Structure 1
Amino acid sequence: MAQSFNPARYAVLIVEDDALVRAEAVDLCEEAGFTAYEARNADQAIRLLERHSDIRVLFTDIEMPGSMDGLKLARAVRDRWPPVSIIITSGRVKVEKEDLPENGVFFSKPYPPQGIVKALNDIAAQIFN
C-alpha cells in the first residue's frame, strides 16, 4: 500500500527580498499544507539549508541583493543539496530551460498561485513515491 501523502513532512525555503511577495509565498505554501522557511537573500538561504534538513524545495526569486542572485543560489543548492527541488521566479528576467539547474522549474511573476501549488504537490508526490 502506498504511503499516505503529508506535505507537512517537508519544508519549502522561500527566498525573496520583497517582504510582501515573500509573505504571500509563505501563505501560499502554508495554506497548501507545507512548512515554510523564509530568507531575504541567498546568504540567509544557505544558513537555513545548513540548519534544516527538512527543506526539500527551494522557491527563489532571481533578482535580490547579496553575494549571489537566485540562479547562482539554485546552482549552489543543486551542487550541495542534490535532493532539493528548485522553483525559480522572476518578474523581469526570462529564463530558458537550459539556464535552469537540473529538474528546475521557472515561473514568471506574477506567478499563478495554483501553478505554484501544483508544482509543490508534484514535487511532494515524487518525494513520497
Structure 2
Amino acid sequence: MKILVVDDEPLIRLGLAFEVGEWGYEVLEAADADQAIALLEQHPDIRLVITDVDMPGSMDGIRLAHFVRSRWPPIALIVISGKLTDAEPKLPAGSRFFEKPYPEQQLRQALAELTA
C-alpha cells in the first residue's frame, strides 16, 4: 500500500516517512503541494496522503487536501498541524486531523482504518 507524506520540514518528513514505512507501507515523500501533485499524477496507486498544514508554495495542506479530494476522490487524507488546532471543520469529509505531537498509536490506527 502506497502512502504519500507531505511536509516542508525535512526532518519531520523523514521521521514520519520512516515511521510509516516501519508499519509496512510503501512511502513517497514531497516537500510541498506541487511535488505532491506531481507524485500523485505519476503514481496512481497512492492510497493515502498525510500532509502538514503549514507549507510554503502554491497551497497549504488544507487546500491540498481539498484538491486531492476533488481530483482523486478515493484517496484517504490525514492532515497534521502543530499550529492549527481547529483545522478539522475545514477539511474534506472523511479526512482525519491530528495535532502535533500526535499519538503514534492513534495515527497508526487511522492509517489502518483508512487503507482497509
TM band (smaller chain): over 0.9
Structure 1 distance, partners of 2:15, 2:67, is 25
- Amino acid corresponding to residue 102 of structure 2 in structure 1: Y
**CA spacing shift, 1:26–1:49, aligned 2, 3 Å:** same
State the match for 1:112 in structure 2. 103
State the match for 1:39 in structure 2. 30
- Residue pair 2:76, 2:115 contacting (<8 A) in 1 also: no
Question: Cα deviation per residue 1:11-70 (whole Å; 9 max; x = unaligned)?
Answer: 110000111110111011111100100000000000000000110101000001100000
Q: Which has the larger radius of gyration?
A: 1
Gaps of 5+ in 2: none
How many residue pairs match? The answer is 116
Structure 2 distance, partners of 1:104, 1:60, is 11
State the match for 2:21 in structure 1. 30
State the match for 1:78 in structure 2. 69
Aligned alpha-carbon RMSD (Å): 0.9
CA positional deviation for 1:98: 2.5
State the match for 2:43 in structure 1. 52
Gaps of 5+ in 1: 1-9
Percentage of pairs with the same residue: 46
Please, which of 59, 80, 86 is the counterpart of residue 89 of structure 1? 80
Question: Cα deviation per residue 1:71-109 (whole Å; 9 max; x = unaligned)?
Answer: 000000000000000000000012344211010000000
State the match for 1:17 in structure 2. 8
Structure 2 distance, partners of 1:70, 1:25, is 16
TM-score, reference length from structure 2: 0.96
- Residue pair 1:28, 1:117 contacting (<8 A) in 2 also: no
